[in-house]
Amino acid sequence: DIDHLNLRVQKELVEWLNWLKADIGFDGWRFDFAKGYSADVAKIYIDRSEPSFAVAEIWTSLAYGGDGKPNLNQDQHRQELVNWVDKVGSKGPATTFDFTTKGILNVAVEGELWRLRGTDGKAPGMIGWWPAKAVTLVDNHDTGSTQHMWPFPSDRVMQGYAYILTHPGTPCIFYDHYFDWGLKEEIDRLVSVRTRHGIHSESKLQIIEADADLYLAEIDGKVIVKLGPRYDVGNLIPGGFKVAAHGNDYAVW
């Protein structure tokens, strides 16, 4: 164990971070198991090494109901993520992985897409509150891969990417999905849509529909994304929009 309250430990870790930055060329940090030490300590490391980007892994359990599924209201879960960023410094480079969105998406794509509209009408994860500080994901080395601790439904992974790559927040792509699953071209198409239309972490999200079999949303008035098996949605798509990417139970205009 590392005693992060020990001043010598702090000093040596800061020196190591600055060496990684100056000599090796890293310019961002990932804080593993960030709930294992205080945000005040993380703030010391960020303030004294000044990375251009920092993301924390604060992975805690969602609130579950008696049916074993996440509650519709996950405000306490996303508040914990928001609190960490607030304590570390909202004006700095600190962000957190949006595990709230990940957990809700896991279940929503299994025929419960209504979950993707929160009680306030916004996205139900951290991106609904503070998208600039939310790093969205479908899976990572812990949740998916060989560890398989909280995997996304494997036959619906591209629905997950259609969501995070069109929505606000800072999306990240899992190595396994991109290089090992044969999804590179499909993911690349979604990335190019995001890039071409300038979708960014603070883009404006308007949820048009959120039913069991259909989620439809418009981002910045430029991009529309559909998740779910419902096919006939032409009446909901404004004129002038053309399909730019599509796959199993998703489409992007």
Catalytic residues: 32, 57
Distance in angstroms (rounded) separating the CA atoms of residues 207 and 224: 10
Helices (H), ranges, 65-207:
75-89, 99-108, 157-164, 175, 184-196
Residues facing 225 on adjacent strands: 217, 252
Distance in angstroms (rounded) separating the CA atoms of residues 183 and 51: 31
Can you read off the two tokens belonging to residue 128? Answer: 């609904």
| Chain centroid to CA 80 | 15
Can you read off the two tokens belonging to residue 131? Answer: 């998208």
Angle at 223 between CA 217 and CA 224, to 5 degrees: 35
Q: Where are the beta strands (DSSP E) in the chain?
A: 28-31, 53-56, 94-97, 134-136, 170-171, 205-210, 215-219, 223-227, 245-247, 250-252
Q: Where are the beta strands (DSSP E) in 137-252?
A: 170-171, 205-210, 215-219, 223-227, 245-247, 250-252
